[in-house]
């Protein structure tokens, strides 16, 4: 793992400039600015991992004040996929996921997450054709954010009735228990926008 954990510009862009466009209140923007992110200025090439965690906490608290931070960051994770879809890199990656399907998408977890940071490592254990355990080395203080990304990403890849359950979390690494009932590329594409609607309505997609 890299000595200095960095989150790249495209990750910030996908969530804060794309997915949350028009939703950040002046108060939220000011809190983000004080934490080191000015969404009204050109983004830096990379941000520290500690800053990224602070940005997520602020967004969850400001956008979902009635939810726990865990619930709020889950919703941000699902929203991230919608914002990522609107970037050049995201369009290419998500188009590939639809071709690969859920199983091979999980097999590429390290590569997929490394598109947005310099530190992610993962190990995948297959329990059955639609049941897996995915270990990730560093998810920070908010493992549910990563769970939301996995949940939404697998739906784009064609999985239905996805369940993602964080377990064995030690403050850094986390193992995600992942399962789905069936896979269908067409349903995955059609369902990929549901997370954005759920975020707008303030409800979490079914796990």
Domain membership flag for residue 142: yes
The alpha carbon dihedral of 70, 143, 114, 194 has a sign of negative
Domain membership flag for residue 45: yes
192: which residues sit within 8 A by CB, 6+ positions away?
81, 82, 85, 94, 152, 155, 156
pLDDT in tens, 46-70: 999 999 999 999 999 999 999 999 9
Residues 162/154, Cβ–Cβ less than 8 Å:
yes
Domain membership flag for residue 199: no
Q: What is the mean pLDDT of residues 197-201?
A: 40
Q: Which domain holds residue 109?
A: 6-181
| CA gap 13, 18 in Å, rounded | 6
Q: At what angle do helices 143-156 and 88-107 cross, to 10 degrees?
A: 90
DSSP single-letter state for residue 59? H
Reduced to 3 states, what is the DSSP secondary structure of residue 109?
A: helix
pLDDT of residue 189: 37
pLDDT of residue 195: 42
Rounded to 10 degrees, what is the CA torsion of 87, 53, 207, 82? -10
**Lowest-confidence pick of 37-41, 152-156, 164-168, 199-203:** 199-203
CATH number at residue 43: 3.90.1520.10
Residue 144 has pLDDT above 90, yes or no: yes
Domain membership flag for residue 202: no
Residue 170: CB atoms within 10 A of its CB come to 8
DSSP single-letter state for residue 64? -
Q: What is the mean pLDDT of residues 8-34?
A: 97
pLDDT of residue 183: 52
Query: Structural domain tally of the chain?
Result: 1
What's the pLDDT band for 186 if we cut at 50, 70, 90? Answer: very low
Give the DSSP H or E segment for 114. helix 109-114
pLDDT of residue 159: 95
pLDDT of residue 37: 98
| CA gap 8, 14 in Å, rounded | 10
Domain membership flag for residue 160: yes
pTM for the model: 0.86
- CA-CA distances (angstroms) from residue 175 to 41, 77, 144, 186? 36, 16, 11, 29
Domain membership flag for residue 198: no
Residue 205 has pLDDT above 60, yes or no: no
Domain membership flag for residue 203: no
């Amino acid at each position: 793992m890299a000595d200095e954990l960095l989150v790249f510009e495209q990750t910030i862009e996908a969530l804060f400039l794309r997915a949350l466009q028009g939703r950040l209140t002046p108060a939220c923007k000011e809190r983000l600015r004080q934490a080191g992110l000015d969404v009204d200025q050109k983004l830096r090439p990379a941000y520290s991992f500690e800053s990224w965690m602070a940005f997520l906490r602020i967004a969850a608290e400001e956008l979902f004040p009635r939810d726990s931070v865990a619930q709020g960051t889950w919703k941000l994770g699902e929203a991230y996929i919608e914002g990522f879809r609107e970037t050049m890199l995201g369009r290419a990656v998500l188009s590939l996921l639809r071709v690969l399907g859920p199983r091979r998408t999980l097999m590429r977890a390290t590569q997929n997450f490394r598109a947005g940071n310099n530190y992610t490592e993962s190990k995948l254990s297959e329990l059955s054709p639609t049941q897996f355990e995915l270990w990730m080395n560093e998810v920070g203080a908010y493992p549910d954010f990563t769970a939301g990304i996995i949940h939404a990403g697998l739906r784009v890849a064609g999985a239905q009735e996805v369940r993602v359950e964080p377990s064995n979390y030690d403050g850094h690494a986390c193992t995600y228990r992942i399962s789905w009932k069936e896979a269908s590329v067409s349903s995955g594409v059609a369902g990929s926008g549901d997370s954005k609607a759920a975020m707008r309505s303030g409800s979490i997609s079914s796990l």
